[in-house]
Amino acid sequence: MKLILVRHGETEWVRQGRYQGSSDIPLNRRGILQARAVAKVLKEEKPTVIYSSQLLRTHQTAHEIAKTCRKEITVDKRLNELCFGDWEGHQHVRIHQKFPKASIAWYEAKWNSCPPGGESLKSLDRRISSFLTDLSQHYSTDSTHILVSHGGPIRMFLVRILKIAPTVFWTIRIDPASISTIHLTVNRKELVLLNSQAHLNGYRRKK
């Protein structure tokens, strides 16, 4: 089984360095072009299923992939981004200045820590573990599953599948419109691609 993990394209809040979480922010112009670039490179994958979170930015990205691959989209709320509660809409740097202790605890990936009014990593772990359990029931060696999601869930897929220490959660970089690929067999799990943006050409924002 091949799992292709795709983060949604750029939004204005991504560009501005703001927490998005459960806020339903659409792709900006660059994000739409990025989604089309992702779709173009994934056309040859001939996916068995294309999954998307419920949020608009992922659905717009998945739509471009589904249109190119001529597949329907299966929406699953377990792929939604973490809820960042009171932090949503605020810039990362401002939150770190205003809530230094909570911010430090959050980025130490403490399982029970969460933004004020937000969701914990433990909660996200339950969602992704449940999705993986259901996916395993449809296991096929030659199947390809495209999952269009967000930075948080994609990191959790990597942590759970590859059995990485949860403390490294936030050290895994997942950029907008990036592609990460995992091959799963009965006896082996291989990370083949991580946070690739080679397909974006001129649509990748300079760091």
- Pairwise CA distance, residues 127 & 76, whole Å: 10
How far apart CA 64 and CA 98 sit, in angstroms, is 38
Q: What is the CATH number of the domain that holds 63?
A: 3.40.50.1240
Which of 138, 145, 150, 199 is catalytic? The answer is 150
pLDDT class for 206, splitting at 50, 70, 90? Answer: low
Alpha helices in the chain (DSSP H): 12-15, 29-42, 56-69, 92-98, 100-107, 121-136, 151-162
What are the percentages of helix, strand and coil residues in the chain, rounded to 5? 45, 20, 35
**What is the pLDDT at residue 6?**
98
Number of domains in the chain: 1
**Chain mean position to CA 45:** 19
Catalytic site residue 8?
yes
From the candidates 8, 59, 90, 145, give the one annotated as an active-site residue.
Answer: 8
**pLDDT band at residue 113 under the 50/70/90 scheme:** confident
In one letter, which amino acid is 186?
V
User: Mind listing the pLDDT tens digit for each residue in 142-189?
Assistant: 899 999 999 999 999 999 999 999 999 999 999 999 999 999 988 889
Q: What is the pTM of this model?
A: 0.95
138 among known catalytic residues: no
| Host domain of residue 90 | 2-203
